[in-house]
Amino acid sequence: MDPIAAWHTDHVYFNQLLRLLQRELDRFHEGGQPNYELMQDVLRYLTEYSDRQHHPREDVAFGRLAARCPDIRLELARLRQEHRLIAQAGASLMKLLQSAVDGAVLPRAEIEVAAATYLVYYGNHIAKEEEDVLPRAARLLTPEDWEAVRKAVSPVPDPLFGGAAAEHFRALRREISREA
């Protein structure tokens, strides 16, 4: 698959998942009972796949692109930093959700702030990549660059759509198809 198309496709799926998370956060904000398990599955997927597969590949692409486009080095460095920030925000939110599932009494605002932070950072991050980085990468990165990107991490099946973890994410796939 064309690496730019694959990158964009991942972003489409990530945005769908972020919309599901936002829907549950809205339910929570309105005083309803969110589906904590669904929220955890969204985070688990974004951690298992995005943080471990997608973002490391992007980091290599960013490094290669920075060598060819000095004018966006700072922007690319910020995007690499955001990968770490997104992972940290996701881990913090996951801990709060697990505490809620385990019966801990938490201030609603604590979960809302953690979820909103995650959603805002991740959504803005994807938008910036789609708007600024992908078009430049498509024009400037060479087949050798894309090979380095591909080799950045050992590929594993996308846990949402294949491999041993796919069974775990069946409910999440159903929710995505309802939203599409």
165 and 48 Cβ atoms separated by less than 8 Å: yes
Q: pTM for this one?
A: 0.89
d(Cα 69, Cα 13) in Å, to the nearest integer? 28
The pLDDT value given to residue 166: 62
What CATH number should be reported for the domain holding residue 73? Answer: 1.20.120.520
For 18, other C-beta atoms within 10 Å of its C-beta total 18
* Domain total in the chain: 1
Rounded to 5 degrees, φ, ψ at 75 are -60, -40
Angle at 94 between CA 21 and CA 100, to 5 degrees: 90
Q: Which residues of the chain have pLDDT under 70?
A: 161-168, 179-180
Domain that holds residue 96: 3-179
